[in-house]
Amino acid sequence: MKVMKAIVSGGGTGGHIYPALAIAGALKKSGCEVLFMGGQKSPDGQGAAPEEKAAQNAGFAYQAVPASGLHLRRLTLGKEIFTNLQGWRQAKTHIKKFKPDIVIGCGGYAAAPVLRAAQSLGIPTLLHEQNAYPGRANRYLAKRAKGICQTFAASASFFPAQTPMFLTGLPVRQAVLHTGRQQAWDFFGIDGAERDIPTVLITGGSQGAQSINKAALDAYARLLDADVRIVHLCGKKNYPQLRQAAPQHPRLLLYPYLEQMEYALALADLAVARAGASFIAEIACLGLPSLLIPFPYAAGDHQTANAQAMAAAGAAEMIGDAGLNGDLLAEKALAFIHDPAKRQKMSEAAKSLAKPQAAEHICQIAKDIIEENSARR
């Protein structure tokens, strides 16, 4: 029997990378041979693309191609278009060599040359859109895609009416779904009575968030004095300054970034975070209560829509970025920590929104497209 082969592509930020890894994992588990393709450089141009290390750590073969975001009002636009043209040409070469049955894209500029190359070669493509307001790459690729897997039904209005839509939810990695608190204690080296200390996870996403970092710094003292453990992921560029300003305390676990995010999520009793779709899908599956601070400049203000959906279901509380400060963060966090009944109610509400089988659903859709394509030959 012929082994099915798939290329999965998505990159730039964790919101695109982690769903792509979850889909790749489901495909591999089903017996499909998977190649992960993404960019050569990180979004800031310093070092390798984050999807490369993430894919390799997850055990997938990785192929990099040149890719760049497009800044339509900058003088660099010509160079960015040329970079993507190079990526498209190189992607065609690698795709011809690998001979996939399908190419699946999870958004981000790094996926655009790969998916466009596949479409130019007549290979079926399937897109996953994480947000209610789709990114530029997926809007561009949608016309020639065989289908679009949605996290939010509202995204359908931004895509061609003739393109098949599948409301799958957002794929969450198996590591997130199956990491327990005992494993988290072991990872962070927490034992004895320290295991009874409640934990607040603070994160501004893979790049960090200045407003959240500032509020967290101002809230450290109140939270630590109340016997709360803090796991704060502040972003690589913000880490040196924050590390210098932060108190030295055994219950303050400050990191620039944590690739093994599953341990931080498993340890937390409350999350304070941006409202990216990938993170929301993870905390919904785990039933983790949250204080969500939407990034106010996200495309289409989609993070506010994400946070409002969670808040309306009783799974989270939303705080506007402009009104965030240390006193408010500490006050809200401590109110949650000191009210187990409220946390339990929010946990149940979060789980009611979860779609833990999203990756398997997308995997089956991909296989159906492959079979339909084979039948037409």
Helix (H) or strand (E) holding 270: strand 270-273
Q: Which residue, chain included where needed, has tokens 């790094």? A: 110
> pLDDT at residue 1 above 70?
no
Nearest CA-CA partner of 289 in 200, 193, 189, 177: 200
DSSP notation for 124-176: -EEEEE-SSS--HHHHHHGGG-SEEEESSGGGGGGS-TTS-EEE------HHH
User: Mean of the pLDDT values across residues 106-127?
Assistant: 94
Q: Does domain 175-352 have CATH number 3.30.413.10?
A: no
Say whether pLDDT at 109 is over 90.
no
**pTM summary value:** 0.85
Cα–Cα distances (Å) from 181 to 190, 202, 263, in that order, read: 10, 17, 8
pLDDT of residue 72: 67
β-pair type (125-129, 61-65): unpaired
Q: What is the per-residue pLDDT across 54-108, written as a single tens digit (0 to 9) for each?
A: 999 999 999 999 887 777 667 777 888 888 899 899 999 999 999 999 999 998 8
5-172+356-376 and 175-352, same CATH topology: yes
Six-digit token string for 13: 């930020």
Predicted confidence at residue 45, as pLDDT, reads 67
- Residue 170 CA to residue 18 CA, distance in Å, equals 10
Q: Which two tokens stand for residue 68?
A: 């760049």
What residues form DSSP beta bridges with 373?
A: none
* Tokens 């895609």, located at residue: 145
Length of the chain in terms of residues written: 377
Alpha helices (H) in the chain, listed in sequence order = 14-29, 50-57, 77-98, 112-120, 136-141, 174-178, 181-188, 210-225, 239-245, 261-267, 277-286, 302-312, 326-337, 340-352, 358-376
**So what's the pLDDT on residue 13?**
78
Domain 5-172+356-376, what architecture?
3-Layer(aba) Sandwich (3.40)
**Tokens representing 53?**
């290390």
- pLDDT class of 3 with cuts at 50, 70, 90: confident
CA pair distance 95, 97, nearest whole angstrom: 5
Residue range 18-38, pLDDT digits in tens = 899 999 999 999 999 999 999
Residues 133-157 have pLDDT tens digits of 888 889 989 999 999 999 988 889 9
What pLDDT is stored for residue 48 in this prediction? 81
The gap between the terminal CA atoms of the chain, to the nearest Å, is 18
Number of H helices, E strands in the chain: 15, 13
- Write down the domain spans for the chain: 5-172+356-376, 175-352
Which pLDDT score is estimated for 221? 96
* Alpha-carbon dihedral angle through residues 103, 261, 150, 315, given to the nearest 10 degrees: 170
Report CA 289 to chain centroid distance, whole Å.
Answer: 18
Handedness of CA 239, 240, 242, 247 (dihedral sign): positive
- The predicted-structure confidence for 303-356, as pLDDT tens digits, reads as follows 998 899 899 999 999 999 999 999 999 999 999 999 999 999 999 999 999 999
pLDDT at 207 over 90: no
CB 36 within 8 A of CB 24: yes
Q: From CA 47, how far away is CA 369, in angstroms rounded?
A: 36
Report the run of H or E that residue 104 belongs to, with start and end: strand 102-105
User: Residue 236 — pLDDT band, cuts 50, 70, 90?
Assistant: confident
CA distance 256 to 233: 5
Name the helix (H) or strand (E) containing 6. strand 5-9
* Rounded distance between C-alpha atoms, residue 65 and residue 51, angstroms: 12
